[in-house]
Amino acid sequence: MFHVEHKTVNQENLKAFLKSTFYFSRLSEKDLERISNLCVVKKLAKKTHLFAEGDKATGFYLIKEGWIKIYKLSPEGKEMVVHIYGPGEIFGEIVLAGFEEYPVWAQALTESEVIFFEKKLFKNLISQSPDLCLILLATFALKIKEMLSNLENLTLKDAKERLMKFLYKASESSPDRVIKLEIPKAQLALLLGITPETLSRLFKKLEEEGVIKVEGKYIWVNPNSCSLNEGRD
């Protein structure tokens, strides 16, 4: 359940990946080198847990490949999905705020590769570099803003608007507007705050309207669709 395999990686490739992410893209070459020296790359099999709620908070993670589900369990054992993170995203950084225990569970939805940053080493590094500290503070502040936007999306938008926003964001970086859905549709439904049945009906309706075309794990999004523009806001 918690078996994790450590992986040896090329340092230059690791730095290039860090530089490509939103969180570390503004770092100098010197700071990037120092950050990369802290990295521990881990390979995860599907359904592997990285940590459980209440585990000692030892550090945070950056996803290199795959998808990680963050969730809580109710007293009755019901799973409540907090968020699903993908490549280039960070999770668990709440440990930098002084949390001694993880407040949630983290599980790999697919075969994944993550980069681990040990809390004490990372805090020691940023304490020695004010510039690095300021850059990371600004970056994490933007993440909080995005999380608030996601909360607004769940509370103020209807199911179709939420799905359109997901499709717009997920297809934005693809030249041909094709999304490979790495996570099960049931998990996507949880992420959007709707039932799997509602998601299936919405996919069918959007296909009939010519907004998308679904073939297995692949979703083609029509860039000329007026409905797609609903996801821009």
Which two three-digit tokens encode residue 74? 């109710």
The helix/strand/coil state of 73 is strand
Which two three-digit tokens encode residue 55? 């585990």
Residues 182-199, buried b or exposed e (16+ Cβ, 10 A)? bbeeebbbbbbebeeeeb
Name the β-bridge partners of 218. Answer: 180, 215
Range in 69-73, 164-168, 169-173, 204-208 with the lowest mean pLDDT: 169-173
Q: Give dist(CA 72, CA 82) in Å, integer.
A: 7
Q: In order of start, what are the domains of the chain with their CATH numbers? A: 5-155 (2.60.120.10), 157-232 (1.10.10.10)
CB atoms within 10 A of CB 96: 17
Query: pLDDT digit string (tens) for 206-227?
Result: 999 999 998 888 899 888 775 5
Q: Give dist(CA 104, CA 174) in Å, integer.
A: 32
| Contact (CB, 8 A) for 108 and 46 | yes
Q: Mean pLDDT, to the nearest integer, of 73-98?
A: 87
Alpha helices in the chain (DSSP H): 11-20, 29-36, 119-127, 130-156, 159-171, 185-192, 196-208
SS3 content of the chain, % helix, strand, coil (to 5): 40, 25, 35
Query: pLDDT digit string (tens) for 8-29?
Result: 668 889 999 999 988 888 888 9
Distance of CA 12 to CAs 19, 25, 31, 58, 139, Å? 11, 15, 14, 26, 23
Range in 41-55, 59-73, 219-233 with the lowest mean pLDDT: 219-233
2 pLDDT tier (thresholds 50, 70, 90): low
| Contact (CB, 8 A) for 108 and 68 | yes
* Average pLDDT along the chain: 84
- CA triple 190-23-228, angle to 5 deg: 45
Q: Which residue has the higher pLDDT, 1 or 79?
A: 79
Q: What are φ and ψ of residue 194, in 5° steps?
A: -130, 170
The helix/strand/coil state of 50 is strand
| Whole-number percent of the chain with pLDDT over 70 | 86
